[in-house]
DNA sequence: AAAAACAGTTTCAAATAATGAAACTTAGTT
DNA sequence: AACTAAGTTTCATTATTTGAAACTGTTTTT
């Protein structure tokens, strides 16, 4: 499912180990890593040692487990400031969140997955940091579909092939054919919906953030609970959402946020 | 000043390049990197290529610059959840921030530098994410001195040797001797002060977060502006601060947050 | 317009570091 | 005490990294 090392030598392999540890979403033992690893025991062992030395992993001697290291949060600070849309988009999504009183999300795509780079919800403003960096699937979220719909054909093919099509809820799209049909609709209308496809009771309206040349850099969405509003209620914010996405796109271009085209 | 690769082979070198890029605090050209690099041109070139392939760096073709890549924010999400004090400390520092109405900071030490892992200020709650992962010097911040004061002798020596002793303000301690004297005082009193040593007009009171075995895991501080309060006003919050630090220490132990002892 | 300077990229043989089967050392069971 | 599983080390083999030098393309100077 996840892969990234076509032929990037030792460094690529070591980074793959980092991904593996991250995927566990909890501190993990060496033997657990070994089971899911393409590398033989001593090789994996040395990678883990090196990464720990380097502060990319941290080792808990009591529990004998490895977790992601603090050095990453230092490095990511810089990433967040310079390579993500978040810094540029922050004021825009704050305004939008205040305006509609719902959770506003901002995402980029990272290797086929929707990467949340910022979140803004007026009622619980302390959740932000815990959310940034979180990943969600591309095929069953508003943000993901909005991004996928506006990629170039080759990128889209590649990204679609990375999707797992796990049926999270009854409304989840479960095949690349269904997804492609939906993406065509989205490309025409300019807006994507999440109709409880990822989580029961959560719906959202999302739209792509693009540069003036039309290259996709990310997506914004407004999410809400079905207990409060329906999809059609969210329609109300459509113009505001589109306007925000456009403004972010323009600013991102000026600030030269890297896109993937 | 920064170093981390004793002998960690190719992977260590590649990660050193990442650090280099991060240090620039802005998108950087290959040639700029080369000037500050211990590696010969083709070697550095290949590292940068590999890291870009891997999404650890991102390349802007228009400006021909490299910046930290989005993959880092994904990886750091996991780091923040599992290796940092932040998750455990969050409720405690929120309470403290509400109580005193000033900015509360949480830090760990990363290679001799104070690494902000969380920040909580009631009046501008959207600054959090932008702050997490930021680094500050250890010798001239309340948080840094609180951590340094309670390290083992060997660690302290190593950490002190990493300090630059740049005189940010007239009150900055500018030699290891002065710093060591101050650290002794702090070790006795259990509290560290920043008397406008890093930034003119900003003072803080900080105290260490330790496990029951006495090993240091981080520090909490309350910071304020001299235009509103003086150091002696902050004294008022000393008991609350100490209590919060103790509680975080206890919880961190239960949750097995990795320490550096 | 030619020449020079510069930034970025490729080549290739030598040097070095990574590899993994097997052996070994612990720590935890039966 | 014997057994088992997890973690660590060894070492000859193999594959990757290395960097001087050469090359290409772009910009600046003459």
**Domains in chain B, please, with CATH?**
9-69 (1.10.10.10), 79-254 (3.30.450.40)
**CA angle (A101 as vertex; A100, A106 as ends), nearest 5:** 80
Contact flag, residue A41 CB and nucleic strand C, below 7 A: yes
Q: How many CB atoms lie within 10 A of CB B88?
A: 22
Residue B14 has pLDDT above 90, yes or no: yes
Q: Token digits for B104?
A: 């509360």
Whole-angstrom CA distances from B81 to A74, A104, A107 are: 14, 22, 19
A135-137 sheet: strands from edge to edge: A135-137, A113-120, A103-110, A216-225, A202-210, A192-195
Q: Do B75 and A74 touch (CB under 8 A)?
A: no
What are the tens digits of pLDDT across the range B184-240?
A: 999 999 999 999 999 998 999 999 999 887 888 899 999 988 888 888 889 999 999
What backbone phi and psi angles, to 5 degrees, belong to B208?
Answer: -75, 150
Whether chain B has a CB inside 8 Å of the CB on A27: the answer is yes
Whether chain B has a CB inside 8 Å of the CB on A17: the answer is no
Q: Which residues of B touch A130 (CB under 8 A)?
A: 80-81, 87
Q: What is the mean pLDDT of chain B?
A: 86
Residue of B nearest to A128 (CA): B129
pLDDT band, very low/low/confident/very high, at B162 (cuts 50, 70, 90): confident
Residue A43 has pLDDT above 90, yes or no: yes
pLDDT of residue A213: 79
Whether chain A has a CB inside 8 Å of the CB on B185: the answer is no
Give the nucleotide with minimal C1' distance to the Cα of B13. Answer: D17
What are the tens digits of pLDDT across the range B71-114?
A: 998 898 888 887 778 888 888 998 998 888 888 999 987 877 78
Whole-angstrom CA distances from A219 to A115, A155, A205, A231, B25 are: 10, 16, 10, 18, 26
Counting one residue from chain A and one from chain B, the pairs whose CB atoms sit within 8 A come to 212
Residue A50 has pLDDT above 90, yes or no: yes
Measure, in angstroms, how far nucleotide C7 C1' is from residue B210 CA: 51
Residue A234 has pLDDT above 60, yes or no: yes
pLDDT of residue B258: 46
pLDDT of residue B122: 63
Contact flag, residue B61 CB and nucleic strand C, below 7 A: no
Measure, in angstroms, how far nucleotide D2 C1' is from residue A247 CA: 73
d(CA A82, CA A70): 19
Through-space distance between the first and last CA atoms of chain A, rounded to whole angstroms: 23
Q: Do B54 and A15 touch (CB under 8 A)?
A: yes
Q: Look up residue A198 and give its DSSP letter.
A: S
- The mean-pLDDT minimum among A34-43, A171-180, B250-259 falls in B250-259
Residue B46 has pLDDT above 90, yes or no: yes
Whole-angstrom CA distances from B13 to B37, B44, B51 are: 11, 9, 11
> Can you say whether residue A170 is alpha, beta or left, with left for phi > 0 and alpha for psi between -120 and 50 degrees?
alpha
* Closest CA of chain B from A10, distance in Å: 7
Who has greater pLDDT, B145 or A254? B145
User: Who among B53, B82, B110 is closest to A8 (CB)?
Assistant: B53
Residue A168 has pLDDT above 80, yes or no: yes
* Closest CA of chain A from B158, distance in Å: 16
- Give the pairing type, strands A113-120 and B103-110: unpaired
Whole-angstrom CA distances from B33 to A15, B41, B45, B151 are: 22, 10, 10, 34
What are the tens digits of pLDDT across the range B114-157?
A: 888 888 776 543 344 456 788 888 999 999 999 999 998 888 99
Residue of B nearest to A118 (CA): B129
Q: Which residues of A touch B78 (CB under 8 A)?
A: 21-22, 25, 67-68, 72, 133
Q: Do B129 and A125 touch (CB under 8 A)?
A: no
Instruction: Tell me which nucleotides of strand D come within 7 A of a protein CB.
Output: 5-10, 16-22
pLDDT of residue A128: 47
Mutation target vs A (from B14, B26, B71; most A CBs, 10 A cutoff): B71
Of A127, A147, A129, nearest to A138 by C-alpha is A147
Residue B248 has pLDDT above 70, yes or no: yes
Highest mean pLDDT: which of A116-120, A124-128, A210-214, B57-61?
B57-61
Of B34, B35, B32, nearest to B43 by C-alpha is B34
Window A:116-145, CB contacts with B under 8 Å: 117-118, 120, 125-126, 128-130, 132-135
Contact flag, residue A5 CB and nucleic strand C, below 7 A: no
Contact flag, residue A45 CB and nucleic strand D, below 7 A: yes
Contact flag, residue A30 CB and nucleic strand D, below 7 A: yes
Who has greater pLDDT, A243 or B251? A243
Residue A6 has pLDDT above 80, yes or no: no
């Amino acid at each position: 499912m996840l892969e990234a090392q076509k032929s990037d030598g030792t460094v690529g392999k070591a980074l793959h180990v980092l991904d593996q540890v991250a995927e566990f979403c909890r501190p993990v033992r060496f033997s657990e890593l070994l089971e899911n690893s393409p590398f033989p025991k001593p090789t994996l062992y040395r990678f883990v040692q090196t990464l720990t030395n380097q502060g990319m992993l941290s080792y808990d001697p009591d529990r004998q487990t490895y977790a992601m290291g603090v050095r990453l949060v230092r490095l990511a600070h810089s990433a967040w400031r310079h390579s993500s849309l978040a810094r540029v988009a922050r004021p825009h999504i704050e305004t939008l969140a205040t305006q509609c009183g719902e959770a506003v999300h901002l995402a980029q795509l990272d290797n086929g997955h929707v990467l949340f780079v910022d979140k803004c919800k007026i009622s619980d403003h302390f959740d932000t940091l815990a959310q940034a960096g979180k990943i969600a699937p591309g095929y069953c979220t508003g943000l993901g579909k909005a991004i996928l719909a506006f990629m170039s054909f080759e990128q889209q093919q590649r990204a679609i092939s990375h999707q797992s099509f796990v049926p999270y809820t009854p409304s989840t799209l479960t095949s690349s054919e269904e997804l492609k049909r939906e993406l065509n609709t989205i490309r025409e209308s300019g807006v994507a919906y999440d109709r409880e496809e990822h989580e029961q009771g959560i719906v959202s309206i999302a739209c792509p953030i693009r540069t003036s040349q039309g290259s996709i850099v990310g997506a914004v969405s407004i999410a809400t609970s079905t207990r409060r509003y329906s999809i059609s209620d969210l329609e109300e914010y459509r113009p505001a959402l589109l306007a925000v996405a456009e403004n972010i796109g323009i600013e991102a271009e000026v600030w030269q946020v890297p896109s993937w085209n």
